[in-house]
Amino acid sequence: MIFLLANHSYGLKRDNKSIALMLICFSIVAIIGFSFNLPKSFISFPHEVTLNYNMSWQITIDSLKSNLILGSGPGTFFHNFSKFRQADFNLDSLWQIRFDRPLGYFAEILSTIGILGFLAYLILVLVALNKAMILKTEILIFPLLAMLIGQAYYYQNTTSSFIFWFWLAMIAGLCSKIKENKISFILNKETLRGRIMAFVGIIVISLISLFGIFFISRVCFADYFYKQSFKKSVGEEKIVLLKKAILINPYFSGYYITLSQAFLNNALLESQKPVKDNQKIFKLVVEA
């Protein structure tokens, strides 16, 4: 907001400067107010339980060492936390909590989708900022930069995620409106170039649609076998169903965890029999 107020080269209107000045004053008052030790009866906020910043990046770095390019997979920070947390965390008062996200969205991106996903995310944001600077829409640039700084130090919740992608959509909408005449000329069916572009576009969209249908169908079939396995308490049938789910969709870590538990349950059941098959028990434990 300070940049918005001070930078005259962007041609800020008087109303925008007044709004920026009011927001700056409000921020200063809020910072001063929260700096004082006010009585708990006057103001009291619940303390949010989050993973500390240092451990978040320690787990992220360790997970990158094992999966540098693609990461461990979307939504798998819970497993990274269980796998790479330090032993002294068990002495902490929060030892019983299994955190599913780090303190910082950048750390979550690097841990779950790797360097490649982080670079793709960064390129998308830089392209949006570049377009916003070309269009001289400073009212969109600085809030987007503020959200990026916040993502480095705080996790992405539903509200912040919606605001961030809504801001990118606004920039994309402005760009598409300005280039509407150029696009309409390129896609004009009366020209040979327009026909070729339309044909290529249809082919690309069709291929993407077919790939999406194929991928979604695999996920649905895998979930079907996964749910069917829960109807079996223990035994070979449960293991067979889980193996089918993994064969169809090998990218969901929950299938592997459930399969390992099924192997261990079968091993426990075998160990409780009057006549134990030690070789079978050993094989089940190894497969788990």
Identify the helix (H) or strand (E) that includes residue 101.
none
Biggest CA-to-CA distance, the chain: 88
pLDDT tens digits for range 252-283: 777 888 888 888 888 888 787 787 777 777 78
Output the six-digit token pair for 8.
Answer: 């005259």
In this predicted structure, the answer to whether residue 67 has a pLDDT above a threshold of 80 is: yes
- pLDDT at residue 188, rounded to an integer: 52
Question: Confidence band (pLDDT; 50, 70, 90) for 148?
Answer: confident
248 or 31: which carries more pLDDT confidence? 248
Determine the Cα–Cα distance for residues 72 and 62; give it in Å rounded to an integer: 11
Res 8 pLDDT > 50: no
The conformational region for residue 188 under phi > 0 = left, psi -120 to 50 = alpha, else beta, is beta
pLDDT at 185 over 70: no
Q: In which band, very low, low, confident or very high, does the pLDDT at 232 lie, cut at 50, 70 and 90? A: confident
Structure tokens at 141: 């640039």
Of 151, 64, 67, 66, the residue nearest 102 (C-alpha): 151
More confident position, 242 or 281: 242
pLDDT tens sequence across 19-58: 556 666 666 665 555 555 555 444 555 567 788 888 889 9
Burial 206-215 (b: 16+ CB within 10 A, else e): eeeeeeeeee
Quote the pLDDT of residue 118.
Answer: 92
pLDDT value, residue 25: 67
Place of tokens 């918005």: 4
Report which residue type is found at 34. Answer: F
CB neighbours of 124 closer than 8 A, spacing ≥ 6? 168
Backbone angles phi, psi at 264, to 5 degrees: -65, -35
71's torsion region: left (phi>0), alpha (psi -120 to 50) or beta? left
- Predicted confidence at residue 1, as pLDDT, reads 47
| Mean per-residue pLDDT over the chain, rounded | 76
Separation of alpha carbons 85 and 62, rounded Å: 9
pLDDT of residue 24: 67
Asked if 123 and 100 touch (Cβ cutoff 8 Å), the reply is no
Contact (CB, 8 A) for 260 and 288 = yes
Count Cβ neighbours within 10 Å for each residue of 127-145 and write b for 16 or more, e otherwise. Answer: ebbebbeeeebbbbbbebe
**Sign for the pseudo-dihedral over CA of 36, 42, 47, 48:** negative
Confidence category of residue 12, pLDDT binned at 50, 70, 90: very low
Lowest average pLDDT, out of 71-80, 108-117, 118-127, goes to 71-80
Q: Distance between CA 70 and CA 212 in Å, rounded?
A: 20
Residue 238 to residue 259: CA distance in whole angstroms: 8
pLDDT score for 21:
65
pLDDT at 178: 58
Range 98-116 average pLDDT = 88
Residue 44 and residue 91 in contact, taking contact as beta carbons nearer than 8 Å: no
Residues, the chain: 288
Q: What percent of the chain has pLDDT over 70?
A: 75
- Check: CB of residue 269 under 8 Å from CB of residue 285: no
pLDDT in tens, 162-184: 888 888 888 877 776 655 555 55
User: Alpha helices of the chain — where are they, by DSSP H?
Assistant: 2-6, 14-35, 53-66, 77-84, 105-135, 138-153, 158-178, 180-186, 192-229, 236-248, 253-271, 278-287
pLDDT over 70 (residue 244): yes
